[in-house]
Chain A
Amino acid sequence: MTDKQREHLKNRIAVVFAWIAAVLFFFPIFWMVLTGFKTESQAIAIPPLLFFEPTLENFTEIQARTDYSHFAMNSIITSFGGTLLAMLIAIPSAYAMAFNSGRWTKDILMWMLSTKMLPAVGVLMPIYLLSQKFGLLDTKITLVFIYAMMNLPIVMLILFNYFREIPKEILEASRMDGTSTFNEIVHIVLPLAWGGIASTALLSIILCWNEAFWSIVLTTTEASTLTAFVASFQAPEGLFWAKVSAVSTLAVAPIVVFGWFAQKQLVQGLTFGAVK
């Protein structure tokens, strides 16, 4: 066997193992989706069924059996609301930092990131008691605010990096023409950074959607998001695997797809910009 053939064979083996890893990692998700199409008795059948006549019943009757849309709506409102708030605060700030960076800019950004490292459980009591005092327990407003604050540092950092990539010459030219700062942001910076802003928002939505500490601790039913709703199936009486699987499938599907699109921002956002 020549060196080239050996190299080729090695490559083939590596690819086989890569696929094995991919199948193993994806299997629990596949199994969950599959179970969503079973009847309850098929779902707990022994031995487990790989081939069966699929039913759509779990999906079509999801609303009758659970209050799915209520929780889905809460998830949508809190993740989009939290993201919107974070973006509204972050865009002007990151813009100012990127184009008017001063001596403290780096320190400010680093400090912002450090607030992200404060463990939630460390401030559980104050947040809980403050929400209680102001009658904000189990409300979407609380979650929107917390999610915005949680994601603000990451959003700031990614936007800062995006804005810095905009060539300064373009802005200078427009300033020569006497464009105001507001017009500069709206007509020049936003269109140029649009892709970056959209994918940053996507990352923030993913992080809010999957947040599972505050949503469990601070809500009971009124403002519960899908993460908290799914957590409520932990009780033994929640042994409706097919139903839970259908709910779970619907709950994760949009976010998994978002995740595929936001991979690059995810790498940057979750490593706080250290890996690009």
Chain B
Amino acid sequence: MNPALARWLQAPSIILLFLWMIVPLSMTIWFSTQRYNLLYPERSGFVGFSNYEFFWTDPAFFPALTNTLILVGSVLLITVVLGLAVSILIDRPFRGRGIARVMLISPFFIMPTVSALVWKNMLMDPNNGLFAAFANALGLQPIEWLQDMPLFSIIIMVSWQWTPFAILIFMTSLQSQDQEQKEAATLDGAGFWSQFYNLTLPHLARPISIVILIQMIFHLAIFAEIFVTTSGGPGVQSTNLTYLIYIQSQQAFDVGVASAGGVFAIILANIVAIFLIRAIGKTLTV
């Protein structure tokens, strides 16, 4: 193939992605400096940083930021620890392993709105839900999950969806672990923990960091689970930054403030993305 043709073939993907990135991005940055509310189109003009100021002096901003960090941090901890445990448990030959594997990763393929509804209604509902039935059977007071611990409930739902992702990645990586090395270690009398620390964990170091970074990108943007279950409430108890910006744009119709929030979200995601891109760059061979 001659180089000119190669360039022509590459052009569409590069140009389209460039436009897809640069047009909305510059518009967001532009809007964030403008007075722009869809309800009051006559008021307009450059306002400098006052949209930003409005966004982060909003009484909901700090709770939303804390909720975002708690949500991302807890889900990461749960999914990585559980994912490691389960993938090590399943990393041995046994009958029905294929079925167990499929059962374990299935939650990851459930659309987020469905999983949110299943948890909200059939499991966590304080009157007719399964958890309430268990509590009643044990003579306990059923927990009002979404009322009393909304953020924790969402952490559970998201962890249920994403632990399978961690399992899938760790399981795949464990398959490439040197079995002879493990057998030698066993013969030398190395116990489970010693093997785990000295062989398995170093082998999984990269996959673990990749899983953490990718989940951070996705979890900073959690939306559907909150939209379907708590709508960010009660109050702002389960509002994260994504949901707060959504509220600003779709309910307050404040384009300026929503865009300032958007810029903030982009910066936050980029901090993570820098590390992720570096990690990916090491494996991409051209």
Q: Could you list which residues of chain A lie within 8 angstroms of chain B, going by C-beta atoms?
A: 7, 10-11, 14-15, 17-19, 21-23, 25-26, 28-29, 31-32, 35, 43-48, 89-90, 92-97, 99-102, 105-106, 108-110, 112-115, 117-130, 149, 152-153, 156-157, 181, 184, 206, 209-210, 212-213, 216-217, 226-228, 230-231, 233-234, 239, 241, 244-245, 248, 251-252, 255-256, 258-260, 263-264, 266-267, 270-276
A-B contact count (CB 8 A): 312
Known A113-B277, A231-B227, A259-B109; judge A23-B103 contact (CB<8 A).
yes
Question: Looking at A10, A18, A113, A115, which has the most chain B CB atoms within 10 Å of its CB?
Answer: A18
Interchain CB contact under 8 A, B210 and A271: yes
- For B110, give its contact among A29, A115, A264 (CB under 8 Å): A29
Rounded to whole angstroms, the CA-CA distance of A57 and B106 in the bound complex is 26
Give the nearest-CB partner of A213 in chain B: B223
Interchain CB contact under 8 A, A15 and B263: no
Residues on A with beta carbons closer than 8 Å to the beta carbon of B268: 119
Say yes or no: is B90 at the interface (Cβ < 8 Å to chain A): yes
Residues on A with beta carbons closer than 8 Å to the beta carbon of B190: none
Q: Digit string of B258-286 for contact with A (CB within 8 Å is 1, else 0)?
A: 11011101101110110011011111101
Residues on B with beta carbons closer than 8 Å to the beta carbon of A275: 169, 172-173, 206-207, 210
Known A119-B221, A119-B265, A216-B224; judge A124-B249 contact (CB<8 A).
yes
Residues on A with beta carbons closer than 8 Å to the beta carbon of B24: 123, 126-127, 130
Residues on B with beta carbons closer than 8 Å to the beta carbon of A273: 280, 283-284
Interchain CB contact under 8 A, A209 and B273: no
Interchain CB contact under 8 A, B10 and A244: no
Give the size of the chain B interface in residues (CB under 8 angstroms): 111
- For B100, give its contact among A22, A156, A206, A255 (CB under 8 Å): A22
User: From DSSP, what is the main secondary structure of chain A's interface residues?
Assistant: helix
Interchain CB contact under 8 A, A48 and B133: yes
Interchain CB contact under 8 A, B13 and A112: yes
Interchain CB contact under 8 A, B113 and A230: yes
Say yes or no: is B198 at the interface (Cβ < 8 Å to chain A): no
Known A108-B14, A245-B122, A267-B169; judge A125-B109 contact (CB<8 A).
no
Chain B nearest CB from A19 CB (Å) reads 6
Known A48-B133, A152-B16, A248-B118; judge A14-B109 contact (CB<8 A).
no
Rounded to whole angstroms, the CA-CA distance of A245 and B117 in the bound complex is 9
Residues on A with beta carbons closer than 8 Å to the beta carbon of B231: 234
Interchain CB contact under 8 A, B9 and A256: no
Residues on B with beta carbons closer than 8 Å to the beta carbon of A184: 1
Q: Known contacts A28-B123, A29-B106, A217-B246; can you find 11 more A-B pairs with CB under 8 A?
A: A28-B118, A110-B284, A112-B13, A115-B20, A118-B21, A121-B265, A125-B31, A216-B223, A217-B250, A234-B116, A256-B110
Interchain CB contact under 8 A, B164 and A25: yes
Chain B nearest CB from A35 CB (Å) reads 6
> Which 8 pairs show the lowest CB-CB distances between chains A and B?
A259-B109, A123-B24, A126-B27, A212-B224, A100-B6, A96-B9, A93-B13, A26-B103
Say yes or no: is B158 at the interface (Cβ < 8 Å to chain A): no
Say yes or no: is B186 at the interface (Cβ < 8 Å to chain A): yes
- For A125, give its contact among B107, B117, B192, B255 (CB under 8 Å): B255
Q: Digit string of B4-18 for contact with A (CB within 8 Å is 1, else 0)?
A: 011101101110110
In B219-235, the 8 Å CB interface with A consists of 220-221, 223-224, 227-229, 231
Interchain CB contact under 8 A, B113 and A35: no
Chain B nearest CB from A87 CB (Å) reads 11
Provide 19 A-B residue pairs closer than 8 Å at the C-beta atoms, listed in order of the A residue. Answer: A15-B89, A22-B103, A22-B104, A23-B103, A46-B133, A96-B9, A125-B31, A125-B262, A128-B249, A153-B17, A184-B1, A206-B109, A210-B110, A252-B109, A252-B110, A256-B106, A258-B109, A272-B276, A275-B207
Residues on A with beta carbons closer than 8 Å to the beta carbon of B154: none
- For B104, give its contact among A25, A31, A123, A272 (CB under 8 Å): A25
Chain B nearest CB from A145 CB (Å) reads 9
Residues on B with beta carbons closer than 8 Å to the beta carbon of A94: 13
Say yes or no: is B69 at the interface (Cβ < 8 Å to chain A): no
Rounded to whole angstroms, the CA-CA distance of A233 and B12 in the bound complex is 40
